[in-house]
């Protein structure tokens, strides 16, 4: 964040590189959405939020892959309520499949015999109750750490949500966890969670629960007055989304698409040092292309606002990969929407071209790129 002054406005706070939601302890909310160029009016930022949510789903570490867009009241919910809704949909999927149970060790004084007799406790407790047995036994029960954490999350979100839809869904889901206790020690229960073949359905839910219960975020953002913050580095979101969509478009067209390629180093002697990791490397027959994504609004100045460091980086990619062409992919904005083809030639074999991605029409935008390639 930075504080600046704008004419006719006064002091302004500018939030760079991160998007998401910050909620203060007094309930005041700051919703930070990405600047996405749209051809139509976006009342209530509804279209922007929908595009942003689709972009988030492409991130490997974003804990929500399956949610029903139709059930999301995007025009009525802020981002935090939308994330709560996603979590509830994940829990609903789990409940439909059936929550897992596990054998839990219990000690109890029973009228019948099962398990193992605890002799010392039995003598101390049942000296005058010959009809009872103080036993240790295993019981198949849903009160396992994963379910306790989910129930605790549901109860916390029940207090936080201002959405009638989310509140109603939480009440419905809690009925499936009636036999489950609440977590009294988050750290201890999270340490007991093991995601394997039998608990795969809990993987996303545990990531969400960790965020909600511990007020975690997807960034290193912190502050003494912040109650909750869900912030995402937009550079990573854009990079992940374009890589995912490029595979969907380019692989059927015959391209081999590699993301975050680790094939080359800037120096190899006396040892391999400074690894190169372009966002996307594409190969088709003998043709090699390197593409890098940049979340930045370019302009119509002489250098279009391109960072010099980005040019050095793409030049190194060109030489090491011996790429016929290298591309920089930027989001489209109103200033550059009508610009014609932009390309640069180094004079020694590096050809750099620019392509502007229209996030509101991603399929058409990448199809136009494929035709250029």
Average pLDDT of 234-257? 92
The pLDDT tens digits of the residues spanning 117-165 come to 777 877 778 777 777 877 776 676 788 899 999 999 999 999 988 888 8
Kindly tell me if the per-residue pLDDT of 35 is higher than 50.
Answer: yes
Q: For the residues 337-358, what does the mean pLDDT come to?
A: 89
pLDDT of residue 216: 65
> What CATH code would you report for 235-372?
3.40.1350.10
Instruction: Please give the Cα distance from 275 to 316 (Å, whole number).
Output: 11
Q: Which residues, at least 6 apart from 93, have a Cβ–Cβ distance to it below 8 Å?
A: 66, 201
Q: Stretch 307-327: mean pLDDT, rounded?
A: 92
Distance CA 52, CA 20 (A): 10
Query: What per-residue confidence (pLDDT) applies to 137?
Result: 64
Q: Is pTM, for the whole model, over 0.85?
A: no
CB 170 within 8 A of CB 88: yes
Phi, psi (5° rounding) for residue 50?
A: -65, -45
pLDDT average, residue stretch 99-110: 76
Model pLDDT, residue 286: 87
Q: Parse the chain into domains and list their residue ranges.
A: 63-101+142-217, 102-141, 235-372
Is pLDDT at 68 greater than 60 in this prediction? no
Q: What is the pLDDT of residues 81-102, one digit of tens each?
A: 888 888 898 899 899 998 988 7
Token pair belonging to 321: 């990969």
Could you give the CA distance from residue 116 to residue 126 in angstroms, rounded to a whole number? 15
Alpha-carbon distances of 72 from 49, 68, 212, rounded to whole Å:
11, 7, 19
- Tracing tokens 């290193």 back to the chain, one arrives at 220
Residue 142 and residue 128: Cα distance in Å, rounded?
34
DSSP one-letter code for 330: E
User: Counting beta carbons within 10 angstroms of the beta carbon of residue 311, is it exposed (0 to 12), middle (13 to 18) or buried (19 or more)?
Assistant: middle
Given this model, what pLDDT does residue 122 score? 76
DSSP-derived secondary structure for 306-357: --HHHHHHHHHHHHHHT-SEEEEEEE--TTTTT---EEEE-SSS-EEEEEEE
| pLDDT single digits (tens) 219-238 | 545 555 556 677 888 998 99
What does the alpha-carbon distance between residue 373 and residue 370 come to, in Å, rounded to a whole number? 5
User: Is pLDDT at 329 greater than 90 in this prediction?
Assistant: yes
- What is the Cα–Cα distance from 357 to 259, expressed in whole angstroms? 18
Beta carbons within 10 angstroms of residue 201's beta carbon: 16
Give the ranges where 42-161 is alpha helix by DSSP (H): 46-56, 79-97, 119-125, 145-160
pLDDT value for 228: 66
Q: Which two tokens stand for residue 195?
A: 């995601």
Give the mean pLDDT of 101-120: 73
Of 86, 95, 78, 45, whose CA–CA distance to 62 is shortest? 86
């Amino acid at each position: 964040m930075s504080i600046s002054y704008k004419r006719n406005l006064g002091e302004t706070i500018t939030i760079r590189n991160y998007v998401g939601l910050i909620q203060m302890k007094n309930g005041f909310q700051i919703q930070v959405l990405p600047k996405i160029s749209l051809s139509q009016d976006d009342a209530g930022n509804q279209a922007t939020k929908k595009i942003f949510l689709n972009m988030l789903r492409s991130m490997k570490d974003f804990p929500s892959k399956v949610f029903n867009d139709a059930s999301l009241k995007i025009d009525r919910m802020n981002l935090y309520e939308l994330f709560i809704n996603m979590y509830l949909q994940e829990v609903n999927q789990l409940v439909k499949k059936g929550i897992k149970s596990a054998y839990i060790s219990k000690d109890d004084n029973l009228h019948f015999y099962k398990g193992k007799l605890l002799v010392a406790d039995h003598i101390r407790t049942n000296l005058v109750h010959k009809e009872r047995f103080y036993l240790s036994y295993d019981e198949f029960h849903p009160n396992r750490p994963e379910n306790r954490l989910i129930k605790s999350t549901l109860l916390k979100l029940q207090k936080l949500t201002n959405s009638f839809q989310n509140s109603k869904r939480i009440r419905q889901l809690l009925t499936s966890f009636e036999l489950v206790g609440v977590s009294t020690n988050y750290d201890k229960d999270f340490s007991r969670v093991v995601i394997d073949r039998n608990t795969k359905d809990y993987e996303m839910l545990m990531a969400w629960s960790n965020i909600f219960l511990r007020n975690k975020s997807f960034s290193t953002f912190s502050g003494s007055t912040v109650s909750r913050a869900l912030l995402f580095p937009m550079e990573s979101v854009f990079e992940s989304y374009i890589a995912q969509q490029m595979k969907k478009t380019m692989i059927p067209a015959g391209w081999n698409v590699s993301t975050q390629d680790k094939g080359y180093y800037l120096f190899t002697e006396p040892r391999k040092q400074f690894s190169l990791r372009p966002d996307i490397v594409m190969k088709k027959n003998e043709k090699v292309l390197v593409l890098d994504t940049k979340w930045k609004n370019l302009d119509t100045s002489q250098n279009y606002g391109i960072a010099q460091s980005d040019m050095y980086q793409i030049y190194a990619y060109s030489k090491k990969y011996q790429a016929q062409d290298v591309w920089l992919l930027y989001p489209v904005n109103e200033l550059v929407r009508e610009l014609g083809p932009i390309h640069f030639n180094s004079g020694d074999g590096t050809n750099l071209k620019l392509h502007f991605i229209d996030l509101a029409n991603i399929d058409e935008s990448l199809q136009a790129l494929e035709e250029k390639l």
